[in-house]
Amino acid sequence: MSRFERPLAQGLAKATGFALGPYQTAVIRIGFAATWLLFLLREFPHRHELYGPDGPWSWDMAQQLIANNGAFTALMWSDGQLWFEVVYLLAMVSSVLLLLGWRTRVMSVLFMVGVLSLQNRSIFIGDGGDNVIHLMATYLVFTRCGQVWSLDARRAARARAESPELTVPVDRVGPALWWVLGLVLSGVTFLGELSGGWLLFFWGLLLVHGLWWAVGQRAPQGQFRKLFDVVANLAHNAALLVIMVEACLIYATAGWYKIQGSRWQDGTAVYYPLNLDYFSPWPALSDVLSSNGVMLMLVTYGTVAVQVAFPFTLFNRRVKNVLLTAMIFEHAVIAVVLGLPFFSLAMITADAVFLPTTFLRRVGGWATRARVGLASRVPLDRLPRRSALPEQRAVGGERDEEPTEHARVGFTP
């Protein structure tokens, strides 16, 4: 094997043999589910005005728009208030369960349905953070985001500990959920509410997961099961790559558009949002910040420089980590100063896909030690620094490899 063929073969083996970045995808799952859930909870008293029958964007107007652009929203299946409440509640429940990592394959689909249903119902509601959640909710469906830090991982680890001879843990709840979704999808298809690409998409998901379950039950060590694992790993890794590219494109396009603006060129762009009532939850703080011209100029130019340079720093770990820290800090400041917490949370979550694996594992260890310490009321300094609890082991969607092996492939700090 030549020196050019060897790296290609190694890369292909990694892309097909492992679901890469288990900790990064877990952070993406938890972050976007939490952001969407917090947004729905905050807007719960105003849900009818935002997405429901009392909103300025009426049901008839939304129906005309969706008939033209082909967007998916379950809220167009009925204009009744009861159906709206069911969809809103489904969006909240699926967010909670996806955050916890309970049946992540099913919940990722329901999470996407909830996000698309509400956001496509009233397209003029929200900010840039909503667009990011909109995209990432679709990408999450193709990831194996429950490998670590999930109830699925804990359940699989416990099942292996109790019955080591079982190559595939016995699961009755998951197939039952897919059967229920299949019945619902059959009814929706019969009523003609789905057509075209969305009809093929949802039926394709149901068929693939049904075949996955059937192959796993009949031949868990057979060739078909190995083929399904390879396809699932490829889909996961491709979706993870798309998420990373999407984050880079967001920053690159934002930075290059800023460069073309005269206010960004003269260093005064940050001054104007600080003096808008809509973006001034703390008027006194905004006045203090806007009164310092030198700081405003530095922040303006620094924002453009970081956004334009970030995609090019991915080839250098140290520089990438420095700029990543700067961007996360910038979004935290935006959340407080400009009053855009959900936009900032969405962008910080998108940034987290680039966080070093060792850092994420360390944070997970701290969280585990803190949780165990609170549960047992044992001082934290008496607990081991490295925990071997089930939730810190990767199941990789019925795989037994350690997450450290997955993480070392292509996701070094």
DSSP 128-174: HHHHHHHHHHHHHTTS-TTSSSSHHHHHHHHHHHH-TT-SS---SHH
The pLDDT tens digits for 196-207 are 899 999 999 999
Res 145 pLDDT > 90? yes
Report how far residue 53's alpha carbon sits from residue 205's, in angstroms, rounded to the nearest whole number.
31
Res 87 pLDDT > 80? yes
Residue 221 phi, psi (nearest 5) = -110, 10
Binned at pLDDT 50, 70 and 90, residue 1 comes out as low
Kindly report the average pLDDT of the chain as a whole number: 85
- Of residues 226 and 381, more confidence is placed in 226
Binned at pLDDT 50, 70 and 90, residue 194 comes out as confident
- Of residues 27 and 14, more confidence is placed in 27
| pLDDT score at 410 | 34
114-123, 208-217, 372-381, 390-399: least confidently modelled range: 390-399
Output the 3-class SS for 90-112: HHHHHHHHHHHCCCHHHHHHHHH
| pLDDT score at 214 | 84
Amino acid code (one letter) for 91? A
95-104, 126-135, 242-251, 342-351: least confidently modelled range: 126-135
Binned at pLDDT 50, 70 and 90, residue 14 comes out as confident
DSSP 233-269: HHHHHHHHHHHHHHHHHHHHHHHHHHHHSHHHHTT-T
